[in-house]
Structure 1
Amino acid sequence: MPPSSMNTMNTLDYPKDLRHKHPHAKMLTRKTPSIASTMDQRFSFSAYVPECHSFDGPSLPLLVVIHGTRRQTERYVNKLEHFCELHGVILLCPLFPAGIIESDDLNNYKDILYKDIRFDSILLSMIHQASRIWRIETDKFFLHGFSGGGQFTHRFMYLHPERIAAVSIGAPGRFTPPDLCKPWPAGVGNISELFGPFKSERPDFEQMSRVPVQFIVGEKDTDVSMLESIKDPNDAEKEAGKTRVERIRWLKKAWEAVGISSELTVVPKVAHDGIKCLPGVESWLKNHLPTGGK
């Protein structure tokens, strides 16, 4: 069985370039096969590589999309194909399967730390691995997640804001407030102990404030059946309200209170549906690409 967690990048030596005559070049352009993580082969990722990409050309921006609880990565790859081609963006969609360690678990990746697995390290290793295959800008990347992916995405932001070019956070049912007095994931008071070493004992709110942030939720995302089944809501979730619309508004205000500005997109006539919210993500995200949306 592969190791469940590693804090260093796997050093498997992928070729730095796959020239056009390489037999795999065609299979690694446009929709790609699912590729196992070299850090931990229980996890994998799919990608979409636009036709403008050249294996010996300039690096392209990277968009990472984190799936929700149903793990529908293929739907995101299909829906974002046009966006990637239009704007010259490489898409990476990790797959964090359910049932890792505990067979009935659905939520392992959402809090970043599960048992001894560091899902932030898994993601960063996937990006490093992908950069050994394709020409990708990896110093900073664009990040979006919806529902369970929105949980992962805003928590990743606390830990690695220096790696994010812009972040879109979609309808998280549960959330971590910027509370320095509560332990993770009810707050951020002990992140250095859990995830360190960091430059300080607290999240770098100043660095977070430099990252463009979108919160996005459907106007009709008001079904509370799943949220009411949660046995241990944290104090902020109890205060914020019962629906995802109320909770995302609360989190936006909480981030603003520590200096992190953001935009809120409420998608008309849409309930809890990440695919139907994607046009709002694309419209916002394209303005933060290096091309300025052109």
Structure 2
Amino acid sequence: MRNTPGNGRLLSYYDWGATPYYALQADARFSYCMYVPQSYDEDASREYPLVVLVHGTERWPHMYRDAFADFCETHQCIVVAPLFPVGVGEAGDLNGYKYLDFAGVRYDRVLLQIVDEIAAKWRSARNFMLFGFSGGGHFSHRFAYLHPQRLTGVSIGAPGLVTLLDFEAPAWRGVADLRERLGNAVDLEALRRVPVQMVVGAQDTQTWEIAIAPGSPFHIPGVNDESTDRIGRLRALQASWERHDIAVRFDIVPGVAHRTAPVLPTVQAFFADVMRAARERSP
């Protein structure tokens, strides 16, 4: 039974199920919504697995959250979906969060603040599974470069531009200067321990939104250019990770173009496997 305000419990009626949006206390420019299983037990000693869902450019985090409601109930985990609003660091900015650092905002650190905030209240795990699609796919693979030790799994969905695991090229074509730019070099040993999924629709072949001309800092010939679609870009990312002995589960979803909802069952199957393997490793 849900608790009501004033009964001495930490959580209120609205802190179960599909929650409201909460302002991040460390920086109220950002917010997040959650799904908490109806059977969540405040008195139990268990720690709930956490799934983080990062929105695309459209910024519909509640859609991602709602699509995972049954998954949370079945697998007894908690979902959090952050909102990175348009124009936080610079008026009209749509894309800064995808590159983790823009106009004085470190979006990777904002996410870690969200995770730590909810862990203190809901007893969710501080290490987590991460999924992002499109703009969120940008975020998820770059976050994995900086913070693999915080990930129990990562699913990278159809990013429009990829940053290869290339130690000769600077960010964001590669990762050669991440320590100088962002304070973290890629920890390959930690990244190799993270279960990785890359997922894209079989018909996600349009390039009008993601065409990059030569001269752009994001242009990689044959990868991030005018003619390469999201499937080709994700395959290039896969190859760059596998060259460094990082295992990648690559899923192409039949009949799907650039849409989030139809790929989510494939993502959920991956996360279910991650949690099952974690349980089997537990003593």
TM-score between the two structures when normalised by the length of structure 1: 0.87
Please give the residue correspondences for 1:160-179 in structure 2 after superposition, counting only pairs within 5 Å: 160-179=147-166
Which of 240, 261, 264 is the equivalent residue of 2:250?
264
1:141-191 CA deviation, whole Å, 9 max, x = no partner?
111000000000000000010110011100001011112222221211111
Q: Distance in 1 between matches of 2:192 and 2:256?
A: 29
Computed over aligned residues only, the root mean square deviation of the Cα atoms, in angstroms, reads: 2.0
Query: Secondary structure, in 3 states, of the residue corresponding to 1:78?
Result: helix
Per the TM alignment, residue 113 of structure 1 is displaced from its structure 2 partner at its CA by: 0.6
Please give the residue correspondences for 1:1-294 in structure 2 after superposition, counting only pairs within 5 Å: 22=9, 24-57=11-44, 58-138=46-126, 140-196=127-183, 198=184, 202-228=185-211, 232=216, 233-235=218-220, 237-238=223-224, 242-289=228-275, 290-291=278-279
Query: Relative to structure 2, which stretch is displaced further, 26-35 or 97-106?
Result: 97-106
Task: Name stretches of at least 5 consecutive residues in structure 2 with no aligned partner.
Answer: none
Per the TM alignment, residue 228 of structure 1 is displaced from its structure 2 partner at its CA by: 1.9
Query: Secondary structure, in 3 states, of the residue corresponding to 1:235?
Result: coil
1:203-230 CA deviation, whole Å, 9 max, x = no partner?
1112111111000000000011101266
- Equivalent residues of 1:73, 1:94 under 8 A apart: yes
Q: Which residue does the alignment assign to 1:7?
A: none
Query: Secondary structure, in 3 states, of the residue corresponding to 1:215?
Result: strand
- Equivalent residues of 2:24, 2:114 under 8 A apart: yes
Task: Name stretches of at least 5 consecutive residues in structure 1 with no aligned partner.
Answer: 1-17
Query: Relative to structure 2, which stretch is displaced further, 208-217 or 237-246?
Result: 237-246
Per the TM alignment, residue 53 of structure 1 is displaced from its structure 2 partner at its CA by: 1.2
Per the TM alignment, residue 291 of structure 1 is displaced from its structure 2 partner at its CA by: 4.5
Q: Distance in 2 between matches of 1:88 and 1:34?
A: 21
- Equivalent residues of 1:220, 1:270 under 8 A apart: yes
Q: Distance in 1 between matches of 2:116 and 2:146?
A: 17
Give the aligned residue type for 2:272: K
- Equivalent residues of 2:10, 2:121 under 8 A apart: no
Q: CA separation of 1:26/1:102 partners in 2, compared to 1, >3 Å: closer, same or farther?
A: same
Q: Distance in 2 between matches of 1:225 and 1:119?
A: 27
1:98-138 CA deviation, whole Å, 9 max, x = no partner?
11232221101000011211111100001111112101111
Per the TM alignment, residue 38 of structure 1 is displaced from its structure 2 partner at its CA by: 1.5
TM-score between the two structures when normalised by the length of structure 2: 0.90
Q: Distance in 1 between matches of 2:237 and 2:56?
A: 19
- Equivalent residues of 1:19, 1:56 under 8 A apart: no
Q: CA separation of 1:55/1:180 partners in 2, compared to 1, >3 Å: closer, same or farther?
A: same
Give the aligned residue type for 1:22: R
Identity of aligned residues (%): 36
Query: Relative to structure 2, which stretch is displaced further, 268-277 or 18-27?
Result: 18-27
Q: Distance in 1 between matches of 2:226 and 2:89?
A: 32
- Equivalent residues of 2:50, 2:129 under 8 A apart: yes
Q: Distance in 1 between matches of 2:48 and 2:36?
A: 9
Q: How many residues align?
A: 270
Q: CA separation of 1:70/1:81 partners in 2, compared to 1, >3 Å: closer, same or farther?
A: same
